[in-house]
Amino acid sequence: MLPPFPEGFVVGVSTSAYQIEGATTDDGREPSIWDTFAHTRGNTRNGDTGDIACDHYHRWPEDLDLLVELGVDAYRFSIAWPRQSNLDFYDRLVDGLLARGITPLPTLYHWDLPQALEDRGGWLNRETSERFAQYAANVGRRLGDRVHRWITLNEPVVHMAEGYAFGTHAPGRTLMLDALPVAHHLLLAHGLAAQTLPGEVMLTNNCTPVMPASDDEADHAAAAIYDGFHNRLFNDPVMLGTYPMDVPGVRDGDMDIIRTPMHALGINYYNPTRIAAADGPLPFRMVPIEGAETTAFGWPVVPEGLYDLLTGLKRTYAEALPPIYITENGCSSDEGTADKSRIDYLDAHLRAAHRALTDGVDLRGFFVWSLLDNFEWSDGYRQRFGLVGVDFATQVRTRNDSFRWLRDELTRRRDH
C-alpha cells in the first residue's frame, strides 16, 4: 500500500493527440509533421503511423469511462494544433471530463506541428512562436471557461534534439548543434502563450539527473555539458531568465517573455542518465547504468533518481522554483495483462515522489504515462506503456493488472 499523499494531491494519467487519436483527416484536421514523418518510409518501426492509433477520436467516451473506473482526479491530454480550425472534439472531450468529475489538463503542443508551418521553417523560424501564441489564444477563448490550467509545451528538449538535431523524430532534421535556435523559439512560444492563456500555465520539461561515468575530469565535464543541454537549457530560462550557454536568435525583451511567471512546472521523469566523455560530433555519450534493471524499452529503472531530481531542482532554483507536477512517469512492459514490472515501477516511483514531498519539495501531483498503449513515435506500436492494453487490430481495450492496482490504491486513498 502506498504512503498517504496530502489532501488535494492530484493523481492522473497522461496521453497525447497524435499517439492516441487517429482520425488524422477528420473534420478539417490539417497534416502535421508527424503525418509526414511517419508516412516517410524507414522513419518508424514497421512503417507504423498515427492514422488510426487508439481511435480515441471516436472512442473517447469509453476511454473517459476507464478514467472514472480508475478513479483519477485529472486527465492530461494534448490538443492537436492541426485541429485548430475545428476544436469541437476538444469541446466534447472537456465537457465529457467535467461531467465525470475529472479535471482536464490539456497540453497545447505535444510535437504535432502543422506541416504548413514546418514548410516555412518550423521551429527554426521565429514566426512559429507567434503563430503558437495565436493558436493558444484561440484555444483559450474556446475552452478557457472550463479549463483552468494549461501546459504550453511537452518536452521541448526532446522535440529539439530528436526532431531537429538528430532527425529521429519529426520533422527529421539533422542539424546537431545548429538546432539551438529551436530551443529559443519553443521557449519564446511558451512565454507568449503564458501571457495570453486564461488561468494557470505550466511548461512540461523532460528532466534527468546526470551522473558522470567515472571520477575522471573528462567524464565530469561531459556530464556537466549534457546537463546543460538536457536540463538547464529549458529550466534556467523559465525560472532564472538566463541561458546556460550561448543561444542564437535572442532579441531584447525575449528573456522577460520566456520568464513570464509559471504557476507550476511539469516534470517528465523516466530515468537518470550516465554520461562519458566522447570525441565525436558531440562531447558526450550515454553509457549504461551498471546494476540497474531495465524496462522492455531498455530504459534503466532507478526510482531514487526521481527523488534526486526533485530535491536537486529545489536546491538549484530555490525561490524561483514553482510547485511541481510529475506530468509523466511510467514504463514499457512486454508482460501483457500481468504487468507486474509496471506495478513495481510505479509503486517505487510514487514512493520516491512521496519521499521528496516529505523532504520539502512542493509536489502537487503525479500523472502516469499512459492510460492506453499507444503510438510510441519512431518505435511505432511495439512499446506498450498503457495501464490499459490495446489490441490495435480490434481496438479492444483490456485492463492490465497495473490498472487494477492503481484503481485499488486510489480507492483506498479516497476511503481513508
User: 290: buried, middle or exposed (CB in 10 Å: 19+, 13-18, 0-12)?
Assistant: exposed
Interaction of residue 155 with ligand GCO, rule CB under 6 A: yes
- Select which of 21, 118, 162, 328 is catalytic: 328
Query: Judged by CB under 6 A, how many residues of this single chain contact ligand GCO?
Result: 11
Provide the Cα torsion 89, 93, 95, 98; round to 10°: -170
**Which is nearer to ligand GCO, 48 or 376 (by Cβ)?**
376
Cell numbers that stand for 295 in this block: 524496462
**Which is nearer to ligand GCO, 84 or 268 (by Cβ)?**
268
Provide the Cα torsion 219, 223, 225, 227; round to 10°: 180
Active site residue 217: no
One character per residue 352-391, x = contact with ligand GCO (rule: CB under 6 A): -----------------x------x--------x------
The answer to whether the beta carbons of residues 78 and 20 sit under 8 Å apart is: no
Cell numbers that stand for 239 in this block: 525560472
Alpha carbon 77 to its chain's center: 10
Interaction of residue 48 with ligand GCO, rule CB under 6 A: no
| Residues 61-120, interacting with ligand GCO (CB under 6 A) | none
**Which is nearer to ligand GCO, 158 or 350 (by Cβ)?**
158
User: 150: buried, middle or exposed (CB in 10 Å: 19+, 13-18, 0-12)?
Assistant: buried
Question: Whole-number minimum distance, CB 19 to ligand GCO, in Å?
Answer: 6
Interaction of residue 268 with ligand GCO, rule CB under 6 A: yes
Tell which residue, 392, 386, 375, has the closest CA to residue 170: 375
5, 12, 13, 16: residue in contact with ligand GCO (rule CB under 6 A) = 16
Active site residue 21: no
158, 197, 239, 262: residue in contact with ligand GCO (rule CB under 6 A) = 158
The answer to whether the beta carbons of residues 392 and 51 sit under 8 Å apart is: no
Chain residues binding ligand GCO by CB under 6 A are 16, 19, 154-155, 158, 206, 268, 328, 369, 376, 385
Q: Which residues are catalytic?
A: 155, 328
